[in-house]
């Protein structure tokens, strides 16, 4: 079996990922923020994505999948958003 890959444009990213992208871009601008450490933490969370087959699309003959963040990525995103609010208040 060949390799399977999915390419997703920014327009197709679920709203659950948008806050994470925005907060990482915002915190990257802070000189004292250990961006690489948090970047590695976030990318490690992508190993735990929730992937499910879209059964309504499958019933029409299309193979569609739904990708959502896992619980760990949700927790990291919430912590980064709280840190951003604290630092920018």
pLDDT digit string (tens) for 29-60? Answer: 888 889 999 999 998 988 887 777 777 766 77
Q: How many other CB atoms are found less than 10 A from the CB of residue 74? A: 15
- Give residue 76's pLDDT: 92
66-84 pLDDT, tens digit each? 777 788 988 999 999 999 9
What count of other Cβ atoms lies within 10 Å of the Cβ of residue 8? 10
Q: 1: pLDDT confidence band, cut at 50, 70 and 90?
A: very low
Please give the residue that has the higher pLDDT: either 61 or 76: 76
User: What mean pLDDT value characterizes the chain?
Assistant: 80
Domain ranges for the chain, please list them: 14-87
């Amino acid at each position: 079996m060949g390799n399977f890959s999915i390419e997703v444009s920014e327009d197709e990213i679920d709203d659950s990922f948008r806050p994470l992208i925005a907060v990482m871009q915002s915190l990257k601008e802070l000189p004292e923020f250990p961006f690489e450490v948090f970047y590695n933490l976030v990318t490690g969370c992508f190993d735990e994505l929730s992937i499910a087959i879209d059964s309504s699309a499958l019933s029409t003959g299309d193979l569609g999948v739904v990708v959502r963040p896992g619980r760990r990525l949700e927790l990291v995103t919430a912590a980064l958003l709280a840190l951003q609010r604290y630092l920018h208040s």
